[in-house]
Chains A and B, each alone.
Chain A
Amino acid sequence: MRDTQRLFGKACLLFGAALFAAPVHAEEPKHGGILRIYHRDSPASASILEEATFSTNIPFMGVYNNLVLYDQHKPQNSIDTIVPELAESWSLSDDKTKLTFKLRSGVKWHDGKPFTAADVKCTYDLLMGKSKDKLRKNPRETWYNNVADVTTNGDNEATFNLKRPQPSFIALLASGYSPIYPCHVSARDMRVKPIGTGPFKFVEFKQNESIKIARNPDYWKKGFPYLDGIEFTIIPNRSTAILAFIAGKFDMTFPTEVTIPLLKDIKAQAPDAVCTVAPINVSTNIIVNRDVAPFDNADLRLAMVYALDRKAFIDILAEGQGDIGASLLPPPEGVWGMPPEMLATLPGYGPDVKANRAKAREIMEKLGYGPQKHLSLKVSTRNIATYRDPAVILIDQLKDIYIDAELEPVETSVWHAKASRKDYILGLNLTGNAVDDPDQNFYENYACGSERNFTGYCNKELDALFDKQSQETNVEVRKKLVWEIEKKLVEDVARPIIMHPRQGTCWRPNVKNYTVMVNSSYNGYRFEDVWLDK
């Protein structure tokens, strides 16, 4: 039953992907109208560079432009789907260390000042901590570790000078997380009243209430955007929000936030709604404290991963709508994840759960545990349903291998502090990946010294492999390297990945020309050519 559901889901998805891969321009786009979307929470600020959540990207991406951007109508982001935006074209020097962008001229910031190459330099100096003005938070500093500096040549040319070749560096620049900021507006003002070059101007952000952006009449891309504006109403209560969508108060749900049971509800109550389900490239994973007892013991770590029944997680949490994978999003939606046959050979990934658990118990018994002697520990996680629910299942599964775990719900305000202090034994965590690219994933989550590497996992050998794959220009060769790294990470129990969930996005049939990305939930919200048929 569940398998058929899952297959059905995949079929729908592929159909959806096929449908949107070729932009449907059969109908003549109409201008005007306000797109109404509900928002899941009140974002911390409007400054995309300072945040690491799509709560900020979705409402504010339309305010900005990047140098380059993933094609907003190709669901699978990859190096081949990158299109120019503020850059008209780009070129790589022969030694592959100078990435030069030719910039569009005549582009104006929303306050009327002209956009120049200096703004590009300012933005990246800010990100690399080289400017006087500082970002309060800089979650993606590691992305630019390989950038020596950014230089300009006149007003219309900017060059990124790389320390070593990094063919997929441009993939990071194409993310929704890489907008260009103006030199003349302070980092503080960008949090409160952002100025961009994008298709929409910032109007207002009322905390816990609403966010409004309106059509930029002087947008450099003539004739765009089609919409007069977008209004986000903040509704943290998910059932209220879904009810409001069903009642027609909104044209669209908050993208990639509709869970599978709610999706069914929408389909039943509002049959005309158009819905797609896609991976969000946010993995549900376990963080293990390998510095203190008991998990300083490699055998015990291994026993734990043998106890995992990943399919059960997916079946319970997402009614089968999720994927089993290692650190990178698995194919077909994921570009880099290892093939399923290979995955099945890794510890704990074999399909026979009973055999895996027997093996886990065997290890536990060797370590001195058994039916008479259980291991007691705490599983810490954020006190939010999306974290708590998988933690409860994990606790239940660990019971099978003589581990009595208790849930320790941690308030959001102290979760990251606690995690960075390594004040946990086992933790249940979600990791969002902005770009489906190994550089982003490995450097952010597994490299020695990265601020987002909560577990403090550090393996010099692997660090060298990260650099090796990063420099590799041949995609097939790079893939092999990436799979080798993924395998090592699994065997080392670096950060056991439980699942890659899928979630839904729904809209009314009069919303046209919107494409849901299938391997990222952070990059597809420019909204410049979305239009309303009414």
Chain B
Amino acid sequence: MASYLTRRLMLMVVTLFGISIIIFFLLRVVPGNIVDILFDSAGMVNPAEKVKIERELGLDKPIPVQYLAWIGGIAQGDLGYSYVSEKPALDEIAPRIPVTAKLALLALIFSIALGIPLGVISAVKQNSGVDYALRVLSLTGLSVPAFWLGLLILMAFVARFDTIPIYTEPTKSLWEELLLYSVPAAAVGFRSSALIMRLTRSSMLEVLRQDYIRTARAKGASAQAVNYDHALRNALLPVVTIVGIEAAFLFGGPIVTETVFNIPGVARFLVEAIRTRDYPIVQNLVMFIAIVVVVVNFLVDLTYAALDPRIKYAG
């Protein structure tokens, strides 16, 4: 097990390294750079000044040299400066992480709490009215564009409660915070819950047809015991995968939701940084999200091993 862990950790480093190369070079393929953006707000371009700023920012150096400078900086704990705000990139990124983390966590809790039980019910009562209703509900969750849902929710709030659940200023209490994040978390978690529900259902159905379940039934185990003890445990296997994927998605992906609900989290910040070609922010933020995802995947695999006796890890 220990050697397995070392191997996994090494692989994680390799993955992160690959990501750093991809995002770094991909970003530089995107036309335009920060200097173009800076001049855009001045409504003009001064070629001499442009060259000067590019030199100041080190953008005139060969791309591999820039890459090494970035990686070297990270190794020394220096993430560089935001091109736009001219403040340390770390100071810009750090305060936005807890915001998205809270949103993602709430959404994940919402989607698991809704998705797994409903998926199980749907499978156990296959082809019943309940099953059909739940399937239609889950399909709706997968079919409605997230920002459309967000906008409809906002409008409903304004019309019904005369208030709007968007972020306008830092929250003062935990309760207020929970209240504020719960609406966008539900909006974004609806899709994830639908995905989890579907996978739980199909996985559960599959497991229920397996030989050992039939054997358990034949041996006279009660339906309840079969469904919830034998079947669910095995059915959760692929669900764990999708939960991992969704966790990663929720951390890096709720862009439109953060936009509609005006939440100052990492996803919206990342999009804005891509738009302004703020390389230090994009690179470091993508690396940060990647680290989260890689760690989550690792945890998923560990859970996988714990749940599935069929998988053996070679030393």
Chain A contact residues, CB within 8 Å of chain B: 36, 42-45, 50-53, 55-56, 136-139, 188, 191-192, 205-210, 231, 233, 235-237, 239-240, 243-244, 246-250, 269, 411-417, 420, 432, 451-452
Contact = CB atoms under 8 A, between A and B. Distances in A.
Contacts of B45: 416-417, 420, 451
Given A44-B41, A451-B46, 4 more contacts: A137-B49, A207-B269, A412-B275, A416-B44
Given A136-B38, A239-B151, A247-B164, A188 B43 contact: no
Contacts of A208: 264, 268-269, 272
A192 B39 contact: no
B40 A246 contact: no
23 contacts: A43-B41, A44-B84, A137-B42, A139-B43, A192-B87, A208-B269, A210-B169, A233-B169, A236-B259, A240-B151, A243-B154, A244-B168, A246-B158, A248-B163, A249-B166, A412-B275, A413-B31, A413-B33, A414-B31, A414-B32, A414-B36, A416-B44, A417-B36
B193 to A, nearest CB: 24
Given A52-B44, A208-B269, A269 B86 contact: no
A348 B41 CA distance: 32
Contact of B38 (A137, A247, A248): A137
A420 B42 CA distance: 13
Residue of A56, A137, A139, A239 with most chain B CB atoms under a 10 A cut-off: A137
Interface of B: 31-33, 36-46, 49, 53, 82, 84-87, 92, 95, 151, 154-155, 157-158, 162-164, 166, 168-169, 259-262, 264, 268-269, 272, 275-277
Contact of B158 (A237, A243, A250, A417): A243
| 4 tightest Cβ-Cβ pairs between the two chains A and B | A413-B32, A247-B164, A44-B41, A139-B42
Contacts of A209: 264
Nearest to B256: A237
A50 B42 contact: yes
B43 A432 contact: yes
Contacts, number: 134
B166 A240 contact: yes
Nearest to A239: B151
Contacts of A53: 41, 43
Contacts of A136: 38, 49, 53
A209 B85 CA distance: 12
A210 B264 CA distance: 10
B43 to A, nearest CB: 4
A417 B33 CA distance: 10
Contacts of A188: 86
B169 A413 contact: no
Contacts of B264: 206, 208-209
A353 B101 CA distance: 58
A192 B36 CA distance: 19
A210 B276 CA distance: 18
Contacts of A243: 154-155, 158, 164, 166
A224 to B, nearest CB: 25
Residue of B154, B168, B272 with most chain A CB atoms under a 10 A cut-off: B168
A110 to B, nearest CB: 20
A454 to B, nearest CB: 8
A126 to B, nearest CB: 14
A102 to B, nearest CB: 32
Contacts of B42: 44, 50-52, 137-139
Contact of A412 (B40, B44, B82, B260): B40
Contacts of B275: 412-413
A42 B85 CA distance: 10
A203 to B, nearest CB: 13
A42 B272 contact: yes
A412 B158 CA distance: 33
B86 A191 contact: yes
Contacts of A416: 36, 39-40, 43-45
A188 B169 CA distance: 28
B195 to A, nearest CB: 26
Given A136-B49, A247-B164, A416-B43, A240 B36 contact: no
Contacts of B85: 192, 205, 207
Nearest to B269: A208
A237 B264 CA distance: 13
A265 to B, nearest CB: 11
B149 to A, nearest CB: 14
Contacts of A417: 32, 36, 39, 45
Nearest to B154: A243
Nearest to B167: A233
B90 to A, nearest CB: 14
Contacts of A42: 84, 272
Contact of B44 (A43, A237, A451): A451
Contact of A240 (B40, B154, B269): B154
Contacts of B168: 36, 233, 244, 249-250
Residue of B32, B43, B276 with most chain A CB atoms under a 10 A cut-off: B43
Contacts of A236: 259
Given A137-B46, A247-B164, A231 B169 contact: yes
Contacts of A56: 41
B87 to A, nearest CB: 7
A228 to B, nearest CB: 15
Contact of B92 (A207, A235, A452): A207
Contacts of B261: 240
Contacts of B39: 137, 416-417
Contact of A52 (B41, B158, B166, B276): B41
A97 B230 CA distance: 95
B182 to A, nearest CB: 17
A128 B32 CA distance: 28
Contacts of A246: 158, 164
Contacts of B46: 137-138, 451
A244 B259 CA distance: 13
Contacts of B277: 413
A285 B190 CA distance: 45
B184 to A, nearest CB: 11
Residue of B46, B85, B86 with most chain A CB atoms under a 10 A cut-off: B85
A239 B147 CA distance: 12
B140 to A, nearest CB: 23
A531 B239 CA distance: 57
B44 A240 contact: no
Nearest to B46: A451
Contacts of A420: 44-45
A138 B102 CA distance: 42
Nearest to A431: B43
Contacts of A43: 41
Contacts of A413: 31-33, 36-37, 40, 275-277
